[in-house]
Amino acid sequence: MQQVQLKIANLLDMEKFAHTLAKYFKDEGAVIFLDGDLGAGKTTFTQYFAEGLGVKDVVTSPTFNIFKRYKGKNRYLNHFDLYRIQDNVYDQGFEEYWYSNDDISIIEWAEYLPNEFRSMFSLKLSLDSITEDVKYINVLGKNSIISYIKDYCHEFIR
Ligand SMILES: Nc1ncnc2c1ncn2[C@@H]1O[C@H](COP(=O)(O)OP(=O)(O)O)[C@@H](O)[C@H]1O
Ligand SMILES: [Mg+2]
């Protein structure tokens, strides 16, 4: 695992970052954790990332549905939001998706996961709102993904 800090100055930066990152996942599935307060940009990131994966459907916040699944060009995107279920992640059948090697699972509010699931991510983005538009993102991930970000998203590195 390696870490890198990004500065995302506005929505256009977020779009570029998410689209570029999505390209990495053409050839492999992943579990991506998203942490950050309400309004930090977790769903917004996911919407751009989904576009980058070739999802044609409109991606909406899963806060009330908890889970939605979308078909991308090469793989499925599973989008979770644990805010409302918090400790009740068991018995929902989610593990089947999280342990799939082909899909991308994005989990908003991953900090609510029970301990046993806390290390199953290959990428974790922690979003901090500096102002309404400017976000700092702490990125922790597999070495290969962080190297990719350093190569292709270097304009956003702090
Ligand atoms: N740089 C940015 N990155 C992401 N969202 C931003 C940015 N600047 C402004 N926003 C706005 O902030 C809001 C973030 O909301 P949302 O993505 O739903 O947050 P969360 O899912 O973390 O609760 C959206 O209205 C989005 O348009
Ligand atoms: Mg959200």
Mutate to test the pocket of ligand 1, among 37, 44, 131 (most ligand atoms within 8 A of CB): 44
Domains of the chain, by residue range, sit at: 2-156
pLDDT digit string (tens) for 37-48? 999 999 999 999
Name which residue sits closest to atom 8 of ligand 1, judged by CA: 133
Residue identified by tokens 């990719």 is: 148
Q: Is the CB of 61 under 6 A from ligand 1?
A: yes
Asked whether the predicted pLDDT for residue 87 surpasses 80, the reply is no
CA distance 120 to 96: 13
Ligand number, closest to the Cα atom of 16: 1
The yes-or-no verdict on residue 74 having pLDDT over 90 is yes
* DSSP structure class, residue 100: -
* Cα–Cα distance for residue pair 140/19, rounded to 1 Å: 18
User: What's the CATH code, domain 2-156?
Assistant: 3.40.50.300
Which parts of the chain fold into alpha helices (H)?
11-24, 42-52, 95-98, 143-152
Q: So what's the pLDDT on residue 63?
A: 75
Say if residue 112's pLDDT is above 80: yes
Given a contact cutoff of 8 angstroms between Cβ atoms, the answer to whether 141 and 135 are in contact is no
The overall pTM is greater than 0.95: yes
Distances (CA, A) of 49 to 22, 32, 135: 6, 11, 16
Q: Which ligand is nearest to the CA of 63?
A: 2
What mean pLDDT is reported for the chain?
A: 95
Tokens (6 digits) for 74: 């090469």
Cβ–ligand 1 contact at 40 (below 6 Å): yes
Task: Work out the pLDDT band at 128, boundaries 50, 70, 90.
Answer: very high
In whole angstroms, what is the distance from residue 148 CA to residue 151 CA? 5
Give yes or no for residue 106 CB within 6 A of ligand 1: no
How far is 43 from 141, CA to CA, in rounded Å? 19
Interatomic CA distance for residues 6 and 110, integer angstroms: 20
Confidence of residue 90 (pLDDT cuts 50, 70, 90): confident
Residues 89, 113 contacting (CB under 8 angstroms): yes
